[in-house]
Amino acid sequence: MGFRITTNMMMNTYRHNLMGSTNKLADARDMVLTQRTFNSYADDPAAAAQAFRLRRDYWSTSNQYNSNDATYNKFHVAWTNLKGIVNNLIDANGRMSAIGGVTGTAGESRIALGKVLDETADTIINAMNQKLGDQFVFAGNDGLNVPFEWKGEELYYRGINVNCGKVERPATPEPTGWGALDDFGMPENMPKEDDPTLTADQKEWIKYYKDSSDKKKLDKMCDEEMLLDLGMGMAEGTDGKLKNGSAFNSALAGIKFVGYGIDDSDEFGDPKNVAMIMKRLGQVFSQWSEDAKPQGYVPAPGTNETPESLAAEAERLMTKLKLAQESITEKYVELDANSSFLKTNGSRLQDQAVNLNEQILNVEQVDLADAITNFSWEQYCYNSALKIGNQLLSQSLIDYMR
């Protein structure tokens, strides 16, 4: 028994096959134009999943490289400024050595050197207030505000006097009823210093609380962190803290470089801050007089200083300035090592990004010769389908009505 093929069946079958050929031709054309092996997850689920993972790694590496590049620029600016500071300090120490100490023959140079030291101190602070873009380089994790500021003869770092720590704990009993101490040692309910009901002892305790609190705040600022993921496997340990070496600390606290607090190695209470040392040393040198009989230091009126005490102070501060210069040089070397690491890490991340991009192309990019060959074949099939359709489908009455 035969099977009758109707015209409608032939047209439906032909239309279905023609649409299939059209879709294949369109896919082959897209493959040639986009040069991709797939354009949707359904085309190749395995390759699409692998490409997603590779693109995610590439995006992460690119972000890490951009962060590393920005951090390197920041550290390079800091390194350049710190190099200038070190050179200024070496020059200052060299000139002081040339003076010959306290009683050298070049004593007449002390006044001029005092002015140089005063100006150099200002230059150092200006360098520590360097700005990169809209961020201050040496401001720790508060890059939007100026870190250092002179207020008269006192230097402040983010609103705190760098000479804090000089007030000794009072010998009188500690006040009661002012509440518990906070993290920085300040009573929660401590009255204001201008409170008329305060006794002299209580005022001394308030000064001590404020001074010790400022010292603790500067201690904390020195340990501030701005941790960045620079491709070192940023991960937390079992204690909930980031593992050492898995992140990079990009915070640069200027107070850590130039020093703060009071030197407690002797009874003189000299400042540790290099700019304050230079300022004070400049003041001492400016009191030198060639007209004095005999020539030497002339104390300012109304002070307890003597020519001998000023000479001893000058000698002592010269020694401490040299120690401060050695400390800054040590920090400079450390900063140089960090800058070198960032430069090397940037090259590593760049190479890693190139390798990931090559892997992405291997997964996603089509062989152009194969794609063109496939497109030519699909186009041939499509044209053949059109030609066969013209031969199989008879013309209707409408075709003859012209």
pLDDT tens, residue by residue, 298-323: 888 888 888 899 989 998 998 999 99
Please list, in sequence order, all residues whose beta carbon lies within 8 angstroms of the beta carbon of residue 140, skipping any fewer than 6 positions away.
147, 158, 221, 224, 251, 252, 253, 254
Left (φ > 0), alpha (ψ -120 to 50) or beta: where does 28 sit?
A: alpha
pLDDT in tens, 22-76: 888 888 888 788 778 777 788 788 888 998 999 999 999 999 999 999 999 999 9
Map out the domains of the chain as residue ranges: 48-363
Q: To which H or E segment does residue 36 belong?
A: none
Residue type, 6: T
- Pairing verdict, β 148-151 and 296-297: unpaired
CA distance 64 to 123: 35
pLDDT digits over 345-394, tens only? 999 999 999 999 999 888 888 877 877 888 888 888 888 878 777 666 65
Mean pLDDT of the chain: 86
Class of domain 48-363: mainly alpha
DSSP 108: G
Confidence (pTM)? 0.80
